[in-house]
Amino acid sequence: MKARKRISKILTVILLLLVSVIILIPFWFLLISSFKPAADIFGNGLNIKLDFSKMSFENYMKLFHVQDGIFWIWFKNSVVITVIQTVLVLVFCSMVGYGLAQYNFKGRNLIFTLVLVMLMVPGDILLIPMYKLVTNLGLMDSFAGVILPGVVPAATVFFFRQYAIGLPRDYGEAARIDGAGEFRIFAQVYAPMMLPAYGAMTIMTAMGAWNNFLWPLIVMRSDENLVIPAGLLTAMTPYGNNYDIVFSGSMMSIIPIIILFLLNQKSFINGMTIGGIKG
């Protein structure tokens, strides 16, 4: 039995290593291509070999100086939208999920059913209604038009609800006996217990907001208000001769998400594992 377990572990490790290598190959191609001239990126097919004689920082210098440094404006826009949207999503979704899990009120099951229904609705179907809503509210070409439609995503509400449903209600009852209000109970009693869930959803929400491409492209009309994914699209031409800028810009856009994950990976893992089995 010990020999079988050992063989099973070895095979599992080998399989995971192979999967990791397969997943990392596109990232490796992006990394080395960001240092190559545009003519050499696809000159010999998808070449992932290192050739230091053809690699330089020229692509990044070109990226930082294109259109008088507009990349940094796109970077700032992405940071502002990501931070604001992430904070709003965490606040509102945690409150909704906590309310659905900890309170018994009329219509709770109906609201939770609507959340489940929204999980089954493809996001592309909502583009036209959201576009009309944003237009009628006069929020086109603004950060608010990008942020507000995604403030309460159903998946995040569902995750917080599944996490909060396993929290003991005794703490809330004890706080009410001491005279604490409902918002204070949530903020000072239950929110600290939900830190792993906050950590997991911080990464997921920030990554979704940072990489959001289609909706900001629809809402924003001026180049100065674009985010990185949509802005890099404007660098492309029908002849594809700006891949050097696109690859270097894509590499720069990955760095903040990697840093966020490295700083928050423990909470992310705890939140995803614990939140996935509760309820």
Secondary structure of the chain as H, E, C letters: CHHHHHHHHHHHHHHHHHHHHHHHHHHHHHHHHCCCCHHHHCECECCCCCCHHHCCCHHHHHHHHHHHCHHHHHHHHHHHHHHHHHHHHHHHHHHHHHHHHHCCCCCHHHHHHHHHHHHCCCHHHHHHHHHHHHHHCCCCCCHHHHHHHHCCCHHHHHHHHHHHCCCCCHHHHHHHHCCCCHHHHHHHHHHHHCHHHHHHHHHHHHHHHHHCCHHHHHHCCCHHHCCHHHHHHHCCCCCCCCHHHHHHHHHHHHHHHHHHHHHHHHHHHHHHHHHHHCC
**Residue carrying structure tokens 């099951």:** 109
| Rounded CA separation 272/200 (Å) | 6
Amino acid identity, position 165: I
Q: Which backbone phi and psi does 226 adopt, to 5 degrees?
A: -70, 155
* Structure tokens belonging to residue 90: 């965490």
Q: What is the pLDDT of residue 216?
A: 92
Calpha distance 194→207 (Å, rounded) = 20
CA distance 199 to 265: 8
Which pLDDT belongs to residue 272? 61
Rounded to 5°, angle at Cα 219 from 139 and 260: 105
CATH homologous superfamily, domain 57-277: MetI-like (1.10.3720.10)
Tens-binned pLDDT, residue by residue, of the chain (279 aa): 678 888 888 999 999 999 999 988 888 888 888 888 877 777 666 777 777 777 888 888 888 887 778 889 999 999 999 999 999 999 999 999 999 999 888 888 999 999 999 989 888 888 999 999 999 999 999 999 999 998 999 999 999 999 998 888 888 888 888 888 889 999 999 999 898 889 889 989 999 999 999 999 999 988 889 999 988 887 766 555 678 888 889 899 988 888 888 887 776 666 666 554 444
Per the structure block, which two tokens stand in for 204? Answer: 């997921």
Quick one: tokens of 58? 């020229």
- pLDDT of amino acid 274: 57
Q: CA nearest 71: which of 240, 181, 234?
A: 234
Task: Determine the pLDDT at residue 239.
Answer: 53
Q: Which of 97, 91, 212, 92 is nearest to 145 (CA)?
A: 212
| Token pair recorded at residue 57 | 């920082």
Query: Taking a C-beta distance cutoff of 8 angstroms, is the pair 53, 165 a contact?
Result: no
> Structure pTM?
0.84
